A and B are shown apart, each in its own frame.
Chain A
Amino acid sequence: MSNTSDFLILKEDHTLGNVITEQLRGMSNVMMAAYKIGHPNVPEVLLRIQTDGTITAREALSEACKSLVLAYGQLETRFSSEMSVQTLLQHPEPVRADGGAVNGTI
């Protein structure tokens, strides 16, 4: 099938496999996306992507990765800004864990 590809990702596990396949499944031109880890002791993820033919599986994978990088980036930005507000609320004057004042270094 010309619209289907397998990708072998080395030294990765469910952390990456699961998130990528789930992202691919959300794309309208991807018909099927799945991954398997053939053996728990073998650090390889086999990823299969089947598209509807309007894009290649490779393009689909690339798009999925980009969206994820972006989504994680946004998560981080939101987390950071929330965190600074929180810090400000809690410590108008920053203090160290041992009660001493922050003097620029740890």
Chain B
Amino acid sequence: MDAFFESGLGLERFFNQPFNQDEGKGDNASPDYNPSQSSSSIDRALSVSPLAKIIRDTVNMADYDHPMHDDIGLGPSVVIHEADSTAVKFEASNVSLPMMNSLRRVMMAEIPTLAIDLVEIEENTSVLADEFIAHRLGLIPLHALGADKLMAQRDCECEQYCDRCSVRLSLHVKCTTDENMNVYARDLIVQSEGDDRYPQRGHPVINDPDGNGTLIIKLRKDQEVKLDCIAKKGIAKEHAKWMATTAVGFEYDPHNNLRHTDLWYEQDPKKEWPLSENAKHEEPHPEGTVFDYDAKPSRFYIRVESSGVLPPDVIVKQGVEVMQKKLAGILHELHNSGDNGMGGAGDEYDGPRSPDVDAGGGDNWDGFQTAYGAVNSTANQSAWGNAGGSTTPGYGTSYGNSGGYTGFN
């Protein structure tokens, strides 16, 4: 526990320690998962991926004297207002609005989780059609702790699916009584060999007092359902079934001092609009204050509510990780095309590049930095780019040449 008390106070520790060095045993927020497991495995994953190396190097490189970070003394700070197993409410200050907004967007749309994506139906004599059941199965929340360490199925070497890129669940139920039978998520049986680090990964989330989980189907006497499900890693950008959050509350400037909102009113907006819960943390500007046109929001009140597949604090942490990986992807591309003689876009196609081998599993957002490359200079300058307007093959052809953009050159 000593470790985190220090880490909360001193920047020295933050900058002198390798990034993501075991972040303290007290790192877990939610009692629902094992802290030492989770932090060490994040370590492991980060230590192999090239993107992670960039992130680590960037963070380690920073020091007080570096002119780039002269504002770092005022870096982000966080106060947690409430936390339980389903939601965390916190306040972040000294951060920019775009930074927090990106974090919000990423937490809602790009946290990798697990959901049933493929259903092989062997027997279905129920009243529901096959595709109807398949859809219902897809929406069942599955424990996703460790899902980020799973390979993305499309990056996996296997023919169709395997234990490294999927979790297999089976369902075999038959009603033999006169009374109708309910089939619940608890009846899904995980067939895959699990990962010892994440024993719950792929298991249906069951939170109700009876321990049933989601109701899948009801069966009459002699009706039978027998099927196999393949759960894959995915992000909510592709399908909402992969969402890790249910709702993300996001507020700043509760007194509307910055006038970012124009409140509709009949007589008096102050009387007609109740103050939000967060208003108690800030003071309204007194009457008659001269409006500051340069003022920018810097305090944000965020409430992350988990759908149950991941503890809420893990969602926040993974959100940060996803953002860092996106940025590292750009750095990676910038440096790569710089090394080979400032060749510009064309040089990224020297040969096929194998996808990132991430021992803990591929990252499906890594797609952008594989074959087609993440960043292309379309610059019209000779300093480091060749002729402008070049775009990636394949990608460019399907969406039209980027020359179309030169319209605003």
Contact = CB atoms under 8 A, between A and B. Distances in A.
Contacts of B199: 105-106
A66 B58 contact: yes
A11 B368 contact: yes
A73 B59 contact: yes
Contacts of A56: 383-384
29 contacts: A2-B383, A4-B381, A5-B385, A7-B375, A7-B376, A9-B330, A10-B372, A11-B374, A16-B327, A20-B327, A44-B399, A65-B328, A68-B327, A69-B59, A69-B328, A71-B76, A71-B99, A72-B320, A73-B59, A74-B72, A79-B313, A81-B5, A81-B7, A82-B8, A82-B78, A84-B27, A86-B83, A96-B31, A106-B145
Interface residues of B, number: 95
A15 B55 contact: no
Interface of A: 1-2, 4-12, 14-16, 18-23, 26, 38, 42, 44, 46, 56-58, 61-63, 65-88, 90-91, 94-97, 102, 104-106
A18 B327 CA distance: 12
Contacts of B334: 58, 61-62, 65
Contacts of A26: 96
Given A82-B90, A106-B32, A66 B68 contact: yes
A18 B78 contact: no
A106 B14 CA distance: 30
A105 B375 CA distance: 42
Interface string B61-104: 11000001100100111111001110010101001111101110
B101 A83 contact: no
A42 B145 CA distance: 32
Contacts of A74: 14, 72, 75-76
A8 B375 contact: yes
A104 B395 CA distance: 48
A6 B378 CA distance: 5
A72 B98 contact: no
Contact of A83 (B29, B324, B374, B409): B29
Contacts of B307: none
A4 B379 contact: yes
B69 A87 contact: no
Given A61-B334, A86-B80, A6 B90 contact: no
Interface stretch (B18-26, B168-176, B252-260): B18-26
Contacts of B320: 72-73, 75-76, 79
Given A10-B368, A56-B384, A79-B317, A18 B34 contact: no
